[in-house]
Amino acid sequence: AQSVTQLGSHVSVSEGALVLLRCNYSSSVPPYLFWYVQYPNQGLQLLLKYTSAATLVKGINGFEAEFKKSETSFHLTKPSAHMSDAAEYFCAVTPRGYQKVTFGIGTKLQVIP
Amino acid sequence: NAGVTQTPKFQVLKTGQSMTLQCAQDMNHEYMSWYRQDPGMGLRLIHYSVGAGITDQGEVPNGYNVSRSTTEDFPLRLLSAAPSQTSVYFCASSSAEGVAGELFFGEGSRLTVL
């Protein structure tokens, strides 16, 4: 069985500051990992994905995440927060080759002007 | 491009009523799924389908039925609505050809059960 743990249900950063959203996974087999973003009153959209090609993954809107097997982590970062980054972010995992996706509880990012 | 379309966007039901949430996708995706989103609980999988005629239960299937008669459509039926089913429901699809787990979501259906 696979699961993800997102540390911090709410994170606040100042505009221009580093964004760091934490995700740790648990999986009995090598997983695929994802970050999704949800803007208010919208569905989720894929931000980036890890499928083992490279441990540092770049996504849309300047976000990136690094897969660290030794730490079972897949933290999401962005060097400089923008007001438009305010949203809820979900980490997700699925075993390779399987379509069932397990989501974390989400982290709401607030960007303070 | 329509992508994944959910109807209705909003619905209010009384306890005991039944209804169907509709989901349609125009991307010829084999895999479709229904999630519910509740505060502090993330998204939880209700039911999923890997192709027409094939469905299976997810994490929280009780009180919900699904069927998949075509590739495009995957309706979710609430048999006898309960207040605990007040939630936002999302339909998602993905291609067997692409990366497993890369989901395309609808905009959601907000359901309130009184």
Give B46-103 pLDDT, tens digit per residue.
Answer: 999 999 999 999 999 999 999 999 999 999 999 999 999 999 999 999 987 767 778 9
**How many residues can be counted in chain A?**
113
Q: What is the pLDDT of residue A29?
A: 75
Residues facing residue A24 across a β-bridge: A5, A73
Given CB atoms, is B48 within the 8 Å cutoff of chain A? yes
Q: Taking a C-beta distance cutoff of 8 angstroms, is the pair A44, B103 a contact? A: yes
Handedness of CA A49, B47, B94, A44 (dihedral sign): negative
Which three-class secondary structure state does DSSP give residue B6? strand
Give A38-67 pLDDT, tens digit per residue.
Answer: 999 889 999 999 987 788 999 999 999 999
Q: What is the pLDDT of residue B1?
A: 67
Write the residue in A32, A93, A104 that is nearest to B99 by C-beta: A32
Chain B neighbors of A59, CB-CB under 8 A: none
Rounded to 5°, the CA angle A19-A74-A3 comes to: 120
Given CB atoms, is A50 within the 8 Å cutoff of chain B? no
Q: What is the pLDDT of residue A31?
A: 87
Q: How distant is the Cα of B20 from the closest Cα of chain A, in angstroms? A: 19
Which three-class secondary structure state does DSSP give residue A61? helix
Given CB atoms, is A90 within the 8 Å cutoff of chain B? yes
